[in-house]
Amino acid sequence: MPVANSSIVTYSPAYTIVPTYECFNRCTYCNFRTDPGKSPWLSLSAAEDILNRLQNQQVCEILILSGEVHPHSPQRQEWFQRIYDLCELTLSMGFLSHTNAGPLSFAEMQQLKNVNVSMGLMLEQLTPTLLKTVHRHAPSKLPELRLQQLEWAGELQIPFTTGLLLGIGETSNDWWETLAAISHIHQRYHHIQEVILQPHSPGNQQTFNAQPFDPHQLPVVIAKARQILPSDITIQIPPNLVKDKQWLLACIEAGARDLGGISPKDEVNPDYPHLQEQELREILQPTGWELVPRLPVYPQFDSCLYGELQKAVQQWRTTLTPTSTTGDR
């Protein structure tokens, strides 16, 4: 049973908008991408229709989640502008944007800071051995490239979410080394708000032939991660990938305090429907945990935001919940 001052578990009432599923990477475990030229890009008018339908539904976060266009592609500027315009539209309609669109240039990150309250990029694993296996055809999965994103986000003071993908061919030592690298960067810039521990969960689209990561291992990984990471970084787990309710509770007991964005569809893992808010409450409350909605930016990072973004965040803090905090970590 958790003690009174550490009984809060958070989630973000969210909706995911995908500018394009096209991606020049071909990670063998991916269940999200399509080949370049194989699917239409989302128009601003279609996005506006989606956002209009979300009005008055208590959705605060719009996750702009995109496949990647090659940095040297002639379509790169159009792709980036579409992402920027979607973020701008999101904010104009009263929502808060969080973008995860793969590695970006410093200038692109600098521009997106104007229209995002936070951003994210999964490190996945820093071991270079995966470049010979699951990332063999994924040029943007170079460990040094992804670490650089965390550094640049720190220099720009962008509230940032990163994380590990577990069970794609790495070792346990790789987990600890990746977590240590996150810790090191955060101790320099103090900008990382969450680390996601995401278990590999096979889907219908992937070609990677491997068993799912054993969720019974997760509490041990979480407990060790809690030792490695600074206390002001929250550990997040996706509850739809931990099917056993008792092991979900065990993950929380081990130190996970956030359940991520809860939306109608998990675009990254479409074969695994999200548990919705009421179902999560029914799991958590009997054991003393309180499920609390949060914004896509944590309160300690509000001062990093530009003026208009700060105003939008403060308005949401007064309307979403009287306790827009993350509780103990």
| 195-239: pLDDT as tens digits | 999 999 999 999 999 999 998 899 999 999 999 999 999 999 999
Would you state the structure tokens that stand for residue 266, as one six-digit string? 């998990």
Sign of CA dihedral 176, 182, 183, 185: positive
CA-derived radius of gyration, the chain:
19
In this prediction, residue 321 has a pLDDT band, given cuts at 50, 70 and 90, of: low
pLDDT digits (tens, 9 = 90+) for 235-293: 999 999 998 999 999 999 999 999 999 999 999 999 999 999 999 999 999 999 999 99
Which pLDDT does position 255 carry in this prediction?
Answer: 98
- Coil, helix or strand for 293? strand
Q: How far is it, in rounded angstroms, from Cα 24 to Cα 19?
A: 15
Provide mean pLDDT across the span 57-70. 96
Which pLDDT does position 320 carry in this prediction?
Answer: 81
Q: 4-319 maps to which CATH number?
A: 3.20.20.70
Q: How far is it, in rounded angstroms, from Cα 12 to Cα 296?
A: 7
pLDDT of 164 strictly over 50:
yes
| Residue tagged 């569809």 (tokens) | 265
Provide mean pLDDT across the span 185-190. 98
Read off the pTM: 0.95
The count of other CB atoms within 10 Å of the CB of residue 261 is 25
Provide mean pLDDT across the span 9-22. 98
H or E, element range at 64: strand 61-65
Question: What are the structural domain ranges in the chain?
Answer: 4-319
